């Protein structure tokens, strides 16, 4: 089925250059599908990233379709650059967070860059479109006391699920794993034998890294493997390390629900998300004197500037200690 996509500039508008459409083979859905495949296969984007792009582009697609009424197939013949700006404004009117709007704009820009590179369009209507500026907020780690209280909660139950939960929480705080990396672990990704236990994970960009595990975390994982997992697994061929009550791989959403419950039981007032223990791991490691480069490697950050944000938190902690302790700072 054929459709229309943006072509090169025509009449200027007050908001910038306007764009019309050129007829090409395939629907816009086809091109979105091709782009997502390109991101997955050629760019090595993670499943979560591809899913986010898909959602963002389909939302933009639906916005354009809705302007023509009745949800009929898109011909895109009236689409101009101004419409993309209208879409961004509509997101802001719906009170989307700045970071979310910026991500959706980035998805649209990447998509049209792809179309231009493929020769599908001659001009890129998003070329001069500025992405919303997002003030980078600092991660909010838990205190060491809060982490300790959180990790103690599963010990109040003597069930296979509680043993699993303690192993997951201990492992997250011991390694700084992303939650997706945690729930993606296979049985043979952890090595508890010998005096140097470790976990091996596949991070962003399909980059593998090996992370050492301290004794307490290793004991929690071993306890789960010995006394918890076997009671949960229904299919002995299941390779996932962490499984749910049905004996299937635990999902990110499933972990989040577990974490929220334990955070509530620990009376932690601040918001706790699946990324909170990763933030806490990085911040506490730096406060403990770990070199920035080592923390970068442990976290799997491609760029050290991503890791440097945690130094601001560590430095703020030092300042608070200084102002509390120095006699002339009080």
SS (H, E, C) 240-279: ECCECCCCCECCHHHHHHHHHHHHHHCCCCCCCCCCHHHH
pLDDT at 18 over 70: no
Predicted local confidence at residue 162, as pLDDT: 96
CB 228 within 8 A of CB 167: yes
pLDDT for 9: 41
pLDDT at 232: 94
Is residue 264 over pLDDT 80? yes
Phi-psi domain of 158 (left: phi exceeds 0; alpha: psi -120 through 50; beta: other): beta
Query: Which residue out of 163, 229, 284, 301 is catalytically annotated?
Result: 301
For residue 214, indicate whether it is catalytic.
Answer: no
| SS3 of residue 199 by DSSP | strand
Domains along the chain? 2-117 (1.10.150.130), 144-325 (1.10.443.10)
93-102, 175-184, 237-246: the lowest-pLDDT one:
93-102
The DSSP symbol for 235 reads S
Is-catalytic flag, 114?
no
190: pLDDT strictly greater than 90: yes
Q: Identify the sign of the CA torsion 13, 15, 16, 21.
A: negative
Per the rule left: phi > 0, alpha: psi between -120 and 50, beta: everything else, 247 is: left
Q: In whole angstroms, what separates CA 100 from the centre of its chain? A: 12
- Please tell me which residue in 245, 246, 264, 275 is annotated as part of the active site: 275
Q: What is the mean predicted confidence (pLDDT) over 130-145?
A: 74
Length in residues, the chain: 330
Question: Tell me: the pLDDT tens digits for 158-170?
Answer: 999 999 999 999 9
Rounded to 5°, angle at Cα 168 from 167 and 172: 115
pLDDT of residue 223: 94
Of 126-140, 267-281, 311-325, give the range with the top mean pLDDT. 267-281
Check if 319 is active-site. Answer: no
Distance CA 284, CA 307 (A): 13
Q: What is the mean pLDDT of residues 17-38?
A: 63
Residue 125 pLDDT exceeds 50? yes
Q: Is the pTM of this model over 0.75?
A: no
pLDDT attached to residue 11: 39
The pLDDT, as a whole number, for residue 124 is 77
Residue of 31, 178, 229, 287 with catalytic role? 178
**295-312 b/e with 16+ CB inside 10 Å = b?**
bbebbbbeeeeebebbee
pLDDT > 90 fraction of the chain, expressed in percent and rounded: 35
CA 162 to chain centre: 26
The answer to whether 208 touches 200, Cβ cutoff 8 Å, is yes
Per-residue confidence band for 226, with pLDDT thresholds at 50, 70 and 90? very high
**Average pLDDT of the segment spanning 68-78:** 43
User: What does the alpha-carbon distance between residue 204 and residue 206 come to, in Å, rounded to a whole number?
Assistant: 5
Lowest mean pLDDT among 87-96, 184-193, 297-306: 297-306
Question: Is 204 an active-site residue?
Answer: yes
Q: Which residue among the candidates 164, 278, 279, 284 is catalytic per the annotation?
A: 278
Q: Is 278 a catalytic residue?
A: yes
Please state the rounded mean pLDDT for residues 49-78: 70
Active-site residue identified among 54, 103, 140, 204: 204
Confidence check: pLDDT of 225 > 90: yes
Average pLDDT of span 94-108: 87
Residues 115, 5 contacting (CB under 8 angstroms):
yes
Catalytic residue chosen out of the listed positions 4, 53, 87, 310 = 310
310 classed as catalytic: yes
């Amino acid at each position: 089925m054929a459709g229309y996509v943006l072509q090169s500039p025509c009449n200027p508008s007050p908001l910038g250059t306007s764009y019309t459409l050129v007829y090409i083979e395939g629907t816009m859905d086809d091109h979105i599908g091709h782009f997502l495949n390109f991101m997955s296969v050629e760019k090595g984007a993670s499943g979560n990233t591809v899913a986010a792009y898909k959602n963002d582009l389909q939302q933009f697609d639906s916005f354009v379709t809705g302007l023509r009424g009745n949800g009929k197939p898109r011909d895109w013949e009236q689409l101009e650059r101004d419409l993309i700006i209208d879409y961004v404004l509509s997101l802001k009117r719906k009170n989307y967070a700045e970071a979310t709007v910026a991500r959706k704009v980035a998805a649209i820009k990447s998509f049209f860059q792809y179309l231009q590179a493929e020769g599908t369009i001659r001009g890129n209507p998003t070329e001069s479109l500025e992405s919303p500026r997002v003030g980078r907020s600092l991660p909010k780690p838990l205190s060491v006391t809060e982490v300790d209280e959180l990790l103690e909660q599963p010990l109040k139950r003597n069930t296979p699920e509680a043993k699993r939960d303690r192993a997951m929480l201990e492992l997250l705080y011991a390694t700084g794993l992303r939650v997706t990396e945690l729930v993606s672990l296979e049985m043979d990704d952890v090595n508890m034998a010998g005096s140097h236990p470790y976990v091996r994970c596949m991070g962003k960009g399909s980059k593998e890294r090996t992370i050492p595990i301290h004794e307490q975390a290793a004991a929690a994982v071993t306890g789960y493997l010995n006394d918890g997992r076997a009671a949960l697994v229904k299919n002995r061929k299941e390779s996932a390390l962490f499984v749910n009550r049905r004996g299937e791989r635990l999902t990110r959403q499933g972990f989040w629900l577990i974490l929220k419950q334990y955070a509530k039981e620990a009376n932690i007032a601040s918001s706790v998300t699946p990324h909170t223990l990763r933030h806490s791991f990085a911040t506490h490691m730096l406060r403990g004197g770990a070199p920035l480069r080592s923390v970068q490697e442990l976290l799997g950050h491609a760029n050290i500037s991503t890791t440097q944000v945690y130094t601001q938190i560590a430095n703020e902690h030092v300042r608070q200690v200084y102002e509390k302790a120095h006699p002339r700072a009080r």
